[in-house]
């Protein structure tokens, strides 16, 4: 009887419990396979890194491998010459005269000549404050990054206060030539202009050296400023990062 059962009679052979169990098995298998696939995707990178160890490393194809042994010397010589030429060209980028490097993250500076440090110390750079006055006026107090050059130098400078200096203190903004715009002694004994209104100057607030407190200028202590002023000339490079 059992041997003569055809396929069409198959469903008759299974009880509802068996059909239920088969369905559960299939669903469970599918569910676990999806979970397994997700885990594989999440861990694909470390698995690839492990399996790559089984792959033999690539043949080290190089110019050297396609050149007869008797021509290796000339190949080496030509490569060495090329490396020397490029190294010399890169070396020419480093200034031979004193230059300044300013770090706006740590608020430190280094006065350099070629690759030697003449002086290093703390400074103050931009505070990254955005001052907003109504809807039309906005100032961002940050020190610009990149390479700048000293445009001019001055001893015993006078600070000509810009508009934001009055707005920040809640004072009315005077006319451009008003005497209240002039402040003596605020910038210290020396000033080096970098262009676009940015300066390297001294400070009355020595306790803030090493912190980001300025309106974009670079402030140095008195002794540091003296050394920097004496070493940097017009056209000297200042690297800010």
Partner 1 sequence: MFREIQSYFTWIRHTPTALCISLILFCILPAYVFYVVVILPVRTCGCDFPPVDSVRMAVPASDPDTNPDSREQKKVIRSLELESAYLESMLSLSKQDSAYLSLNLADSLLVILIKGVPVRSCSLTEIRISRQLRCLDQAQRVRWIAEPFLAERELSTIPRIRYINKQAPKDTMEAALQSAAPMPPDTSSVYYTIYFNRYLVVEINQSEEPYDMKKKIINRYRREKQQVINRETWQAFLHRTSPEPRILIRLTLSQADARAIYRGTPVQTGLVLKLPSDTNVNSCRVSTPSGRRVPPWL
Q: Which of residues 2-61 bind partner 1 (CB under 8 A)?
A: 21-22, 24-26, 28-30, 32-34, 36-37, 40-42, 44-45, 47-49, 51-53, 55, 57-61
Please, which residue, 95 or 197, has the CB nearer to partner 1?
Answer: 95
Q: What's 172's DSSP letter?
A: P
Listed in sequence order, the residues at least 6 apart from 48 whose beta carbon sits closer than 8 Å to its beta carbon are none
Element (H, E) at 67: none
Strand ranges (E), the chain: 99-103, 108-113, 116-126, 129-133, 137-141, 146-149, 152-155, 158-160, 182-184, 190-195, 198-201, 212-214, 218-220, 237-240
Please, which residue, 100 or 157, has the CB nearer to partner 1?
Answer: 100
Task: Give the footprint of partner 1 on residues 174-193 (CB under 8 A).
Answer: none
Please, which residue, 67 or 182, has the CB nearer to partner 1?
Answer: 67
CA distance 157 to 211: 23
Task: Give the footprint of partner 1 on residues 213-232 (CB under 8 A).
Answer: 213
Interface with partner 1, residue 99, by CB under 8 A: yes
Please, which residue, 6 or 45, has the CB nearer to partner 1?
Answer: 45
Give one word for 42, left, alpha or beta, with left for phi > 0 and alpha for psi -120 to 50: alpha
The nearest distance, CB 191 to partner 1, in angstroms, is 22
Binding mask 126-165 for partner 1 (x = CB under 8 A): -xxxxxxxx--x--x-x--xxx------------------
């Amino acid at each position: 009887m059992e041997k003569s059962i055809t396929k069409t009679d198959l469903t008759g052979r299974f009880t509802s419990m068996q059909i239920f169990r088969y369905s559960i098995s299939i669903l469970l298998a599918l569910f676990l396979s999806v979970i397994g696939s997700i885990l594989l995707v999440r861990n694909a990178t470390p698995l690839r890194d492990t399996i790559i160890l089984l792959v033999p490393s690539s043949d080290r194809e190089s110019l050297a491998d396609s050149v007869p042994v008797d021509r290796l010397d000339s190949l080496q010589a030509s490569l060495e010459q090329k490396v020397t030429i490029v190294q010399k060209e890169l070396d020419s980028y480093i200034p031979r005269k004193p230059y300044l490097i300013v770090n706006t993250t740590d608020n430190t500076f280094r006065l350099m000549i070629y690759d030697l440090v003449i002086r290093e110390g703390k400074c103050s750079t931009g505070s990254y404050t955005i001052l907003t006055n109504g809807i039309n006026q906005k100032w961002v107090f940050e020190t610009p990054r990149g390479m700048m050059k000293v445009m001019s130098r001055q001893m015993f400078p006078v600070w000509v206060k810009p508009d934001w200096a009055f707005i920040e203190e809640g004072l009315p903004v005077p006319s451009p030539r008003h005497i209240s715009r002039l402040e003596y002694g605020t910038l210290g004994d020396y000033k080096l202009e970098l262009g676009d209104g940015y300066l390297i100057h001294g400070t009355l607030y020595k306790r803030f050296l090493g912190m980001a407190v300025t309106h974009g200028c670079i402030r140095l202590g008195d002794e540091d400023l003296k050394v920097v002023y004496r070493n940097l000339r017009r056209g000297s490079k200042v690297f800010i990062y």
